[in-house]
Structure 1
Amino acid sequence: MCRRLVKMMHKAGGTGTFFKDSTKTIRLVNRGCTNRPFYHIVVAEKFREVKDQVIEQIGSMDPMPNEHNEKLVALNLERIRYWLGEGVKVSIPASEIFGLAGLFPMAPQTYMKAWRNRKQLAQQAATGGEAQETSS
């Protein structure tokens, strides 16, 4: 079986080289520091190491809330649609982000996280209310 090397040149980050018949995936790559995470959303060959060169960077994510309590995500929807049309697999964290962006249906994990957060807030409000009643 002959593996043919394909070279693509795009404006987005990445080498643009990959084997034509290789399995590709859209995943998050950690590019931040120990106490300051930052992720690139990339298209890469599935069996490459996380820090290896990627085919193309199609977005970024900053999970740390800024001064407005926002977590920032930038996506190149045109390139994401192209790669999905090519049959690229999507990792679970990337599919959650795409669901929140409206590109995919909402992931069940997203609903579970929201439910747990609401439950935790309700418990904190209940224990906070009890603490105020006993101190009065």
Structure 2
Amino acid sequence: MAMKIRLARGGSKKRPHYAIVAADSRMPRDGRFIEKLGTYNPLLPKDSEDRVKIDIERVQHWIGQGAQPTDRVARMLEAAGLREKSERDNPKKGAPGKKAQERAEAKAAKAAEAEAPADAPAEDAAAE
């Protein structure tokens, strides 16, 4: 059975509150889980100690049993000092999208057109 340590969403609309749970990876996000390991409240300030609460001993137990934390939970565990910080690589993150690239090319072409006629009269005047 593939185990995950992940977030299960609770709370009302626009007021999220998450439970950190150990669950079978085949179960739905907010569905059945095996054990609740902590809570996460994203509405609290980042420096608040109540923002993330984790039962460290139980998390270590589940990791020892082979459970894999999701990316978000792994970051929380890194902040708590339970995991070493992993190197993340997303080279496409900073690249502009297709529409933005098209707009930039159009802007560059328009600027080149504006410069070309402006340079031509100056050269003619210098030749005379």
- Work out which of the two has the higher radius of gyration on C-alpha atoms and give 1 or 2: 2
Shift of 1:65: 2.2
Q: What is the aligned length?
A: 88
Matched-pair identity in %? 26
Q: 2:37 maps to what in 1?
A: 58
Partner of 2:77: 98
Of 19, 23, 26, the residue aligned with 1:47 is: 26
List alignment gaps of at least 5 residues for structure 1. 1-21, 113-136
Measure how far apart 1:49 and its partner are: 0.9
Runs of 4+ with >3 A deviation: none
Q: 1:100 Cα deviation (Å)? A: 0.6
Equivalence map 1:51-90=2 (5 Å): 51-66=30-45, 70=48, 72-90=51-69
What is the CA–CA distance in structure 1 between the aligned matches of 2:35 and 2:60, rounded to whole Å?
Answer: 13
> TM-score, length-normalised on structure 1?
0.58
**Which residue of structure 2 lines up, in the alignment, with residue 3 of structure 1?**
none
Conserved in 2, the CA contact under 8 Å of 1:42 and 1:55?
yes
Q: Distance in 1 between matches of 2:66 and 2:25?
A: 13
1:1-136 counterparts in 2 under 5 A? 22-66=1-45, 70=48, 72-108=51-87
Cα root mean square deviation, aligned: 2.1
Please state how far the C-alpha of 1:97 moved relative to its aligned partner: 0.5
